[in-house]
Structure 1
Amino acid sequence: MDVPADQIGPGVRGFWAALPREGRFLLSTVALQRLGRGMTLPFTVIYLHEVRGFSLELSGTLMGLMAIIAACYGPFAGALVDRVGARLVVMSGSVLASLGAVALALASTLPMALLACLLLGLAHGTGWAGSNSLIATIVAGPMRQRYFGVNFALLNLGIGVGGILAGAIVDVERPATFEALFLLDAVLVLIPVMWLLGPLRHVHGRAEPSESAEPASYRAILRRPGFGWILAVSALTSTVGYGQMEAGVPAFARSISLVSTEAVGLLFAANTAVIVLLQFVVLHRIEGHRRTRVMMVLLAVWAVSWGLLGLSGLVPGTLAATLLVVAYGAVFGLGETMLHPSIPAMVNDSAPDHMRGRMNAASSTSFLVGAVLGPVIAGQLLGKGLAEIFIGCMLLGLLASAWLLLRIERIVSPEVNGVTGARPSSSSGTTAG
Structure 2
Amino acid sequence: MISARSFWHSLPIEGRWLLSTVAFQTLGRGLTLPFTIIYLHEVRGFDLGLSGFLMSLIAIVALAIAAPSGTLIDRFGARVVLLVGLVAMIIGCVLLAYATNAIVAGVALVLIGLNFGVSWIGFNAIIATLVQGDLRQQYFGVNFALVNLGIGVGGIIGGFFVDVTRPETFTAIFLVDAATNLIPMALLLGPLRRVRTHGDAEARHETPAEGYRQILRRPEVLWVTLLTFVAMFIGYGQMEGGFPAFARQVSGVSTQIIGFSFAVNTAVIVLLQFTVLRFITGKRRTRVMQVMALVWGVSWLILGATGLLPDSLAAAIGVLAFMGVFAFGETMLQPTVPAVYNDLASDRSRGRYNAINSAAFQGGAILGPIAAGLLLDHDLQAGYIATMVIGCLAIAVLAIALERRIAPDVNGVPEPEPAASPAE
TM-score with structure 2 length normalisation? Answer: 0.89
Q: Report deviation, 1:258.
A: 4.8
Equivalent positions of 1:91-240 (< 5 A) are: 91-107=83-99, 109-172=101-164, 174-208=166-200, 209-240=203-234
Identical counterparts, % of pairs: 53
Q: Distance in 2 between matches of 1:57 and 1:321?
A: 30
Q: Report deviation, 1:27.
A: 0.5
Equivalent positions of 1:1-400 (< 5 A) are: 10-48=2-40, 59-107=51-99, 109-172=101-164, 174-208=166-200, 209-382=203-376, 386-400=380-394
Q: Report deviation, 1:269.
A: 1.4
Change (3 A) 1:37 1:327: farther
Q: Deviations over 1:91-143 (max 9, x none)?
A: 22222223333344445543344323312221111022201001111111221
Q: Deviations over 1:208-257 (max 9, x none)?
A: 34354323311121133411111111111111111222333334444554
Query: What is the identity, as a one-letter code, of the residue corresponding to 2:161?
Result: I
Q: Distance in 2 between matches of 1:15 and 1:399?
A: 33
Gaps of 5+ in 1: 1-8, 424-433
TM-score with structure 1 length normalisation? Answer: 0.87
Change (3 A) 1:323 1:40: farther
The answer to whether the 8 Å contact 1:167/1:264 transfers is: no
Say which is worse superposed, 14-23 or 83-92, in terms of deviation.
83-92
Q: Deviations over 1:136-175 (max 9, x none)?
A: 1111122111111111111111112122223333445555
The answer to whether the 8 Å contact 2:2/2:277 transfers is: no
Q: Report deviation, 1:277.
A: 1.0
SS at match of 1:352: coil
The answer to whether the 8 Å contact 1:81/1:89 transfers is: yes
Say which is worse superposed, 278-287 or 388-397, in terms of deviation.
388-397
Count of residues in correspondence between the two structures: 415
Change (3 A) 1:115 1:377: farther
Gaps of 5+ in 2: 418-424
Query: What is the identity, as a one-letter code, of the residue corresponding to 2:135?
Result: M
Query: What is the identity, as a one-letter code, of the residue corresponding to 1:285?
Result: F
The answer to whether the 8 Å contact 1:163/1:268 transfers is: no
1:5 equivalent in structure 2: none
Q: Deviations over 1:298-339 (max 9, x none)?
A: 111112222333344455554444333222221111001000
1:405 equivalent in structure 2: 399
Q: Distance in 1 between matches of 2:55 and 2:24?
A: 24
Q: Report deviation, 1:35.
A: 1.1
Query: What is the identity, as a one-letter code, of the residue corresponding to 1:81?
Result: I
Q: Distance in 2 between matches of 1:287 and 1:55?
A: 49
Q: What do you get for the CA RMSD once the two structures are aligned?
A: 2.6
